[in-house]
Structure 1
């Protein structure tokens, strides 16, 4: 995926400011930044959910906005805050998503069964998604993003509200996906997760790209957490007010 000169304004606020980024095919790419940095806005423009004011986004050479149908067929998207058809059961929702991508009935049945099993949602397959917990909802949304075997998987906070066992299973699935040639972009606030899972990382602050490269290149011998704080600023070196200390 290649992003070039992406710009997005909301009124007077510039949410993304001429952002350039190249994500190598087959990489596990982390996108990190403080709240309001422009991560979700960037990913929304990159995947065809939000039209940029300027700039381009291409996936395997296909312009996302000039050829949206072709581009979106290559994307599996777990977007933050996008509402699911939650009156469907989990099984129906994954099946419906597979139908939208033109899969055959046999393919849909097998893939849905496989995804429900590896997400530990087999017992909840017949339960309406509206009755799922936050973690279960995240997992069924990920199953929908995977059902058509996309070439690029874009995940916005994929482990939020997910229990540790399910998170470990999802990590295994994603590692296998990248080893098979797929590309993962994950947006996360967890530096430990990004440092553990990702081979590349980009740091975004105030809508601008502050650093990008392999994880080792970006952290430069420090922990990713410390390097991140250096780049984005805002850390207050203080013990806090006197009234919070009991000694």
Structure 2
């Protein structure tokens, strides 16, 4: 099977800060990839380079079988993106915003309007179709972002914390959407700090720490390296084992007992 995405020894620095230090992995069509790591590990930087928003210092990125160096912007029409912290145009209504996104992808307005309304209906927010985004709750805004990433039927999705703000029922729907997308042969690049969700949804899990890939495989395979849950494995591979001590110290300070000496 041909690779849909390949990173070859990618490095990236900002000033003297080496964010990525030779990131190397391949992704295949129909895979759900859990791409996780501590804050500052380089996850968002990786995705921004794949999207062409940043350039690697060294190494090469291949997507849809071609080097990113040889592609213009047309490949982006095959990508859906939900960033962790997205800024919506609050003065627009949901309808106007989704029409705007649809036009960027070259879709006809009638098709965008019909698909948007149906998707919002499925997610339970169709009544707000013509309302300004400034009036939307965090969960409603997240649903609009998810819809905007799927309007154009992309081949590969980059979703960063896509369940942020969603209620329990909506989380279940989105999880099922991911399963259906996988059946359609879509590839999903999924980043989240909710380890239980990543563990259950992902075909493969890639763990990034200090700019390097420290684990890559199915959860069952990774358990051969370290027993326990994905959260325990993550803590072990990223060298973080002080959470209990820090939690106890935090509560002690809160109670006015022994001040925590940082």
Q: Could you tell me the TM-score, scaled by structure 2's length?
A: 0.87
Distance 1:233 1:109, change over 3 A: same
1:93 equivalent to 2:97? Answer yes
TM alignment of 1:189-208, pairs within 5 A: 189-208=193-212
Partners of 1:14 and 1:181 in 2: CA distance: 35
Among candidates 18, 37, 44, match of residue 40 of structure 1: 44
For 1:222, the equivalent position in structure 2 comes to 228
Contact 2:78–2:154 (Cα < 8 Å) also in 1:
yes
For 1:148, the equivalent position in structure 2 comes to 152
Distance 1:168 1:241, change over 3 A: closer
Partners of 2:88 and 2:12 in 1: CA distance: 25
For 1:235, the equivalent position in structure 2 comes to 241
Following superposition, the deviation at residue 124 of structure 1 comes to 1.1
Partners of 2:107 and 2:177 in 1: CA distance: 21
Following superposition, the deviation at residue 96 of structure 1 comes to 1.5
Contact 2:95–2:116 (Cα < 8 Å) also in 1:
yes
Larger Rg: 2
Contact 1:4–1:55 (Cα < 8 Å) also in 2:
yes
Contact 1:7–1:16 (Cα < 8 Å) also in 2:
yes
Following superposition, the deviation at residue 114 of structure 1 comes to 2.2
SS in structure 2 at match of 1:84: coil
For 2:77, the equivalent position in structure 1 comes to 73
For 1:60, the equivalent position in structure 2 comes to 64
Contact 1:26–1:181 (Cα < 8 Å) also in 2:
yes
Partners of 1:182 and 1:242 in 2: CA distance: 43
Partners of 1:174 and 1:117 in 2: CA distance: 18
SS in structure 2 at match of 1:73: helix
Partners of 2:72 and 2:89 in 1: CA distance: 22
Following superposition, the deviation at residue 129 of structure 1 comes to 1.2
- 1:76-132 Cα offsets, whole Å, 9 max, x none, are 011123422232111111122111111223322322122212222201111111221
Following superposition, the deviation at residue 222 of structure 1 comes to 2.7
SS in structure 2 at match of 1:112: helix
* Total equivalences in the alignment: 246
Partners of 1:243 and 1:111 in 2: CA distance: 49
Structure 1 gap ranges (5+): none
Partners of 1:82 and 1:129 in 2: CA distance: 13
Contact 1:47–1:64 (Cα < 8 Å) also in 2:
no
Query: Would you identify which runs of 4 or more consecutive aligned residues in structure 1 move more than 6 Å?
Result: none
Structure 2 gap ranges (5+): 258-262
SS in structure 2 at match of 1:15: strand
Q: CA RMSD in A?
A: 2.0
Contact 1:8–1:15 (Cα < 8 Å) also in 2:
yes
Contact 1:48–1:68 (Cα < 8 Å) also in 2:
no
